[in-house]
Amino acid sequence: MKLKIVGLFLLMAAVVFLAGFKIPGIPTEIGKALQVGAKAGKKAVVAARGISDSEEYFVGRAVAARILGKYPLYQNQAVNLYVNEVGQAVAKKSSRPTTYRGYHFAVLDSSEPNAFACPGGIILVTRGLIKECANEDELAAVLAHEVAHIAHKDGINSINKARWSQVLTTAGAEATRQYAGGVAGNLVTLFEGSIDDVFKTIVVNGYSRKAEENADRDAVSILTKAGYNPAALANLLNKMTSKGAGGRGIYRTHPPTSDRLAKVKAVVRETPASSSEETRTKRFQEEKF
């Protein structure tokens, strides 16, 4: 049943993507660009452009739907609100403080330690990973790392470029024909393939070592600017190292390397807990994860 729902959502997402060409109230910049390119016989030029923020949002929403088909949401409003408050605090201090429809954070009801940064700003973190955090600063470190992935567009950049070119070219041809023929079905297939690219990267394979190190570096900056102890990230990486390659979830897709830990330790120093950090820790411990 869940698979059917996710499949339906993917179809709806593709329809919404197409709707940008002619339905009022939906961004039309995509359709206008494609129609001009198609009419001028310059499909290749149009298809070569990057993915816009609104397109990134629709892709990310579909990726989130697929993840929710695997992990259910944690039905605790207070916990989700708390994680959102921490997430919004760190997102505001990132190099990309705003996205097309904003950042959204939610907790997944799973004991597996994991976190997912869906393109466009949807960040999902499991109860299992939150429980491995000792305090709010470590939770903030998790969220800051995922926010950095979104700021760098690591998820959306994992889409096969040739496939996305086909999506844009097919959509452009569809727009000029006003949805005639069977092009829409082909577009849905191509769109779903793009979702597969992102899903496999963030859920199955993980990002490259360079992408992880860049996210670590930005997470340190984000935590510092947001008033959190950046050493919390080093504490998390220490835990990842101790888990080793045999760990589950994030410990499998985020390779724990001594290099990553050394680079983080090189730019942060452990400091005594301040009164505000103690207050945050108490607040964290009062939540029912």
Q: Could you tell me how many residues make up the chain?
A: 289
- Model confidence band, residue 44 (pLDDT cutoffs 50, 70, 90): very low
Domain coordinates of the chain in residue numbers?
A: 2-63+156-203, 72-152+206-286
pLDDT single digits (tens) 206-252: 888 889 999 999 999 999 999 999 999 999 888 877 765 445 655 55
**Which is it for the CA torsion 156, 161, 162, 164, positive or negative?**
positive
Distance CA 47, CA 165 (A): 5
Could you please state the CATH topology (level 3) that the domain comprising 72-152+206-286 is classified under.
Zincin-like (3.30.2010)
Kindly report the backbone phi and psi dihedral angles of residue 70, in degrees, each rounded to the nearest multiple of 5, phi listed first. Answer: -100, -40
Phi-psi domain of 227 (left: phi exceeds 0; alpha: psi -120 through 50; beta: other): left
Residue 50: which H helix or E strand, with range? none
Please state, for a pLDDT cut of 70, what percent of the chain lies above it. Answer: 66
pLDDT of residue 176: 42
pLDDT of residue 209: 86
Q: Mean pLDDT over all residues of the chain? A: 78
pLDDT of residue 259: 78
pTM above 0.85, yes or no: no
pLDDT single digits (tens) 170-182: 665 554 454 444 4
172 versus 56: which is more confidently predicted?
A: 56
- What are the distances in angstroms from CA 69 to CA 3, 110, 125? 7, 12, 14
Kindly tell me if the per-residue pLDDT of 140 is higher than 50.
yes
Instruction: Summarize the confidence of residues 109-123 as an average pLDDT.
Output: 95
